[in-house]
């Protein structure tokens, strides 16, 4: 699936973009973008680690902050827990993420499963692999109405 990434520079709530479907991925930093692209198979773990190192050196990120960024993607259902764990293990080996524990990994898997269940109930998605067609004009009209602007 081709994705559209939205950098939440102004800290917009990620849920705002849920209306646009799973192709639109709001991210808080470029490590999250790289992690999703890596999980989709377009970058390898070393490339994702390189992005993490740049954030260490240039933006003051810590290994724990990057780990939280990866966990955020799981909580929001952007990454499957298994994909995040596989990527996380490789990133831990490079030192980009802190050493982990299995209890934390289990907790992230449960949290990810609950988030996916909640989204399926809210959107009605998940039946037989169907993704409902999106009416972008209606979505934009609703967003404009909610913000008090006319379209």
Q: Which secondary structure element, helix H or strand E, spans residue 25, and what is its range?
A: strand 24-27
B/e letters for 41-51, b = 16+ CB within 10 Å, e = fewer, are: eebebeebbeb
Provide mean pLDDT across the span 134-139: 80
Cβ atoms of residues 26 and 12 within 8 Å: yes
Q: What pLDDT digit, counting tens, does each position of 22-81 carry?
A: 889 999 999 999 999 999 999 999 999 999 999 999 999 999 999 999 999 999 999 999
Q: Say if pTM beats, i.e. exceeds, 0.85.
A: no
């Amino acid at each position: 699936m081709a994705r559209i990434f939205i950098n939440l520079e102004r800290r917009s709530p990620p849920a705002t973009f849920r209306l646009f479907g799973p192709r639109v991925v709001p991210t808080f930093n470029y490590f999250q973008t790289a992690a999703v692209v890596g999980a989709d198979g377009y970058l390898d773990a070393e490339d994702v680690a390189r992005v993490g190192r740049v954030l260490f050196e240039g933006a003051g990120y810590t290994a724990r902050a990057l780990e939280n960024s990866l966990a955020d993607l799981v909580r929001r259902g952007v990454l499957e827990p298994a994909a995040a764990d596989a990527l996380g293990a490789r990133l831990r080996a490079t030192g980009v993420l802190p050493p982990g524990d299995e209890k934390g990994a289990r907790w992230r898997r449960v949290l990810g499963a609950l988030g996916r269940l909640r989204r399926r109930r809210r959107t009605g998605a998940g039946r037989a692999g169907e993704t409902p067609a999106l009416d972008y004009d209606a979505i934009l009209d609703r967003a404009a109405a909610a913000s008090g602007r006319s379209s």
